[in-house]
Amino acid sequence: MQNFPQPVKLGDSATRWRLSGVLAYEAARTGAAPPSIDPAHEQFLSVRAIAARLGVAPSTIWRWTSESREQREAA
């Protein structure tokens, strides 16, 4: 299973996730190929936008992010 994508710190109070990372995560969950996104057109999603997209609470997104980071560091 693919790890949840890590966020990007855009400023002091702005943390976002790359749309390409979220799409790759969704594709890995379903076994589909992720759509390609031109890096020049990359979009960033807030924690609330991702939570709504996946049908979970924002705190779940933060937990998945933390667990994914811990798994990467342990490997």
Return the pLDDT at 2: 75
pTM reported for the whole predicted model: 0.85
Return the pLDDT at 75: 78
Return the pLDDT at 1: 54
Return the pLDDT at 56: 97
Q: Give the whole-angstrom CA distance, residue 33 versus residue 24.
A: 8
Q: Give the whole-angstrom CA distance, residue 68 versus residue 37.
A: 23
Q: Give the whole-angstrom CA distance, residue 19 versus residue 42.
A: 7
- 43-74 pLDDT, tens digit per residue, is 999 999 999 999 999 999 999 999 999 998 98
- 11-39 pLDDT, tens digit per residue, is 999 999 999 999 999 999 889 998 888 98
